[in-house]
Each structure stands twice: as structure tokens, then as C-alpha cells.
Copies of this chain bind each other. A is one copy, B any other.
Amino acid sequence: MKPESRLLQNIVTRSSSPWMDGSGGSADVVISGRVRLARNLRDQKFPHLLDERSAKSVMDSVALAVNQMNGKEAVPPMTFVPLDDVSSLDRQVLVEKHLLSPQHAQPGRGRALVTRPDEKMAIMVNEEDHVRLQCLHSGLGLETALADAMAVDDLLDEVLDFAFDERSGYLTACPTNVGTGLRASVMVHLPALALADEVGRVLSAVNKLGLVVRGLYGEGTEGTGNVYQISNQITLGQTEKEIVEKLTLVANQVVAEEQRCRDDLLETKRATVEDLVWRAWGILTSARIMSSSEAVKLWSEVRLGVESGIVHGTDMKGINEILVISQPNFVMKSSGHALTPEERDYRRAHLIRQHLASV
């Protein structure tokens, strides 16, 4: 097996992702932080305008740059995975593991993923931009994620000639990314605010501060598992550091609101919360048929239990893995063959029981 296939199979068959291991700052509310940098090669058209040969040429340039970077040992080596060689199912699992965007998982010319065993660093090649570098980090660690991403960006920059304009900054396919090319986001879990019906108020305040709120899997998935991704909208006119600082500030406020709400709930309705948490635990460890949406809902309730100290002896890492196990393509991948929706729900319940028996 080629090294890139080995890495890929390792990633798509395991439910754990080191950036979801429950470590880091405010990890009882913040699942992860993410920093994404958009970069384009100066001498090539943007991806949506590329012909097949030029797309291939972009791939080759990035592959070369990654190769040179790997020789430097400044950052952990990354592996270049041309997506043409990756099955459709594996690509969908990579979406579920947040390593590919849904768009980038579609079949298309000259697409690649560059990543490494810890899944914390990934580059999508020829997505909306030639290079979309993302760094994922458990908990609220945007500064670290930014520093890590910029270290890789610097190393790539030594080889690649990125389109950069003194006045506008980095040029991107979509004008909303021009400037820093930076999108920073935090993935927060807000079960108590949801129970208290306050999540709308808090997130609308976040919107008014110029930040964007999306769901666990982007737009249209708001509310799923009470997980929200909060990210910056503006990439221009602020430094990377300022963007990350502002987002961190707002994230800390959301964290404080959620924590206050949890304290309130535990003080005034402890039995109700315990009941909610333990019922979810009981169903997850017992059910024989489970839909993806129910699994994520129950995951949220059990995670609240771990966050609140109601559930002991189970670490956040093990609980977070249920989020991955819940996803349809991961379930399918784990079975080794195609499954009907009914078979998938049966297998999902089995995987979750098996997983919870081991954590």
C-alpha cells in the first residue's frame, strides 16, 4: 500500500481525531478551533477557471512545495493525496471528519488533500482557491492554530509564488476572502443555552458583532447536536492576529454564557438534567437501531453530562468520537460494503454500543 493510501485508510477508519480529543482551553464548551488560510498561485487562474492541464500543474507545484517542506523538519511531514485516487465513499468520510469541504469531495479535475496522521493540518488543493490550508486545534486555541498554520504557510511560501497585492493582501477567488485569506472559527457546544431556550439570543448577539454562525456541518445544520461554528466574516483591514483575538474574545463570552446557564440549570433543575443525560446514555448504550440525527442529539446530552461532571470515568475524547461514528459514510466505511439506510441505522447502533463499552 502506498504511504498516501495507508494514511488515508487510517484516517477514514478511525473515529478519533486528535483535534477533537477534549484537550485545550474551555474544552467543556469549545470543541475545537480552526484557522484557514486561502492562497493562490500568482501565475495560474483561479481553480474554477483552470483547464485540466493547468489544474494538474497547480497540483504538481503544491506537491513539490510540500515535499520540500517535509525535508525541513520544522513542522511534522504532510502527505499529498490526489483525490482522483480516493473512492467516493472515502471522500465523504473525509467530509464527515472535517478534512474536506463537501464541494471538494465532488469528483473534479486536479483536486488533492494534503494532511498528516494527526489530522490537525490539512491543505485542500484546487478547492475554491489553489491552496486552502487549515489547522484544527482541540479547545479554544486559535492563537496556536494560527501560529501553526502560518508556519506551514511560510514554508510553502518559500517555494510557491502566492498572489499577493501590497494594498489588498492575498488575492482569492472569492472577494470575501481577499486580504488575510483567513477564516478563523470555533466550534462550540451549547446544550444548556439550548435547554434554556437562550441560544437564539446569544447567537444573534454574536451575529451583530460581525461574526457568522453556522451549524456542525456548515450552513443548514444549525442546532444539530447543539453545536455551532462561529467564524469571522471580514478578512480585510485587520491583521490575522486581530481577527483571531476578536473571535477569541467573543468565544469567551459565549463560553461564559453557556457556563452560567449550566450552573443555573444544575442548581435549579439538577434532577431534570441528570435524567436527560442518563437517559441519553442508556439509549446510546442499548439501542439496536439509531439514526444519525438521534445519535448526534443523544451525543449532545451525554456530552453535557461529561461537561457538568454528571458522567464520570468517561473522557471527552471518547464521547466526541460518537460524533464521527454517527455519520452515515463513516458507518458505511466501517462495514466494508454498501448498506441500506436500515442496515446503516442498525450498524450505527452497534458501533456506538461497542465504542461506549470501551470508553
Query: What residues make up the interface of A, taking CB atoms closer than 8 Å to B?
Result: 271-272, 274-275, 278-279, 281-289, 342, 346, 349
Point out the residues of chain B lying under 8 angstroms from A349, CB to CB. Answer: 275
Point out the residues of chain B lying under 8 angstroms from A342, CB to CB. Answer: 271
Q: Is the CB of A282 within 8 A of B288?
A: no
Point out the residues of chain B lying under 8 angstroms from A279, CB to CB. Answer: 283, 286-288
Point out the residues of chain B lying under 8 angstroms from A288, CB to CB. Answer: 271, 274-275, 278-279
Which 10 pairs across A and B sit closest by C-beta, in order of nearness? A282-B286, A282-B282, A275-B288, A275-B289, A278-B286, A274-B288, A282-B283, A279-B287, A271-B346, A278-B288
Q: Is the CB of A278 within 8 A of B272?
A: no
In the bound assembly, the distance between CA atoms of A346 and B342 in angstroms comes to 36
Minimum Cβ distance to chain B for residue A341 (Å) = 13
Which of B272, B275, B282, B287 is within 8 Å of A275, CB to CB?
B287
13 CB < 8 A contacts A-B: A271-B289, A271-B342, A275-B287, A275-B349, A278-B286, A278-B288, A279-B287, A279-B288, A281-B282, A282-B283, A283-B283, A283-B286, A285-B286
In the bound assembly, the distance between CA atoms of A10 and B202 in angstroms comes to 56
- With CB as the reference atom, state the residue of chain B lying closest to A290: B275
Point out the residues of chain B lying under 8 angstroms from A271, CB to CB. Answer: 288-289, 342, 346
Minimum Cβ distance to chain B for residue A275 (Å) = 4
Minimum Cβ distance to chain B for residue A37 (Å) = 45
Point out the residues of chain B lying under 8 angstroms from A285, CB to CB. Answer: 282, 286
Minimum Cβ distance to chain B for residue A68 (Å) = 54
Given A275-B287, A282-B283: 13 more A-B contacts, CB < 8 Å: A271-B289, A271-B342, A272-B289, A275-B289, A275-B349, A278-B286, A282-B282, A282-B285, A282-B286, A282-B287, A283-B283, A283-B286, A285-B286
In the bound assembly, the distance between CA atoms of A283 and B279 in angstroms comes to 5
- With CB as the reference atom, state the residue of chain B lying closest to A282: B286
- With CB as the reference atom, state the residue of chain B lying closest to A273: B288
Point out the residues of chain B lying under 8 angstroms from A282, CB to CB. Answer: 281-287
- Name, among A283, A286, A289, the residue most crowded by chain B CB atoms within 10 Å (CB to CB): A286
Point out the residues of chain B lying under 8 angstroms from A346, CB to CB. Answer: 271
Minimum Cβ distance to chain B for residue A347 (Å) = 11
In the bound assembly, the distance between CA atoms of A283 and B283 in angstroms comes to 6
- With CB as the reference atom, state the residue of chain B lying closest to A342: B271
In the bound assembly, the distance between CA atoms of A285 and B281 in angstroms comes to 10
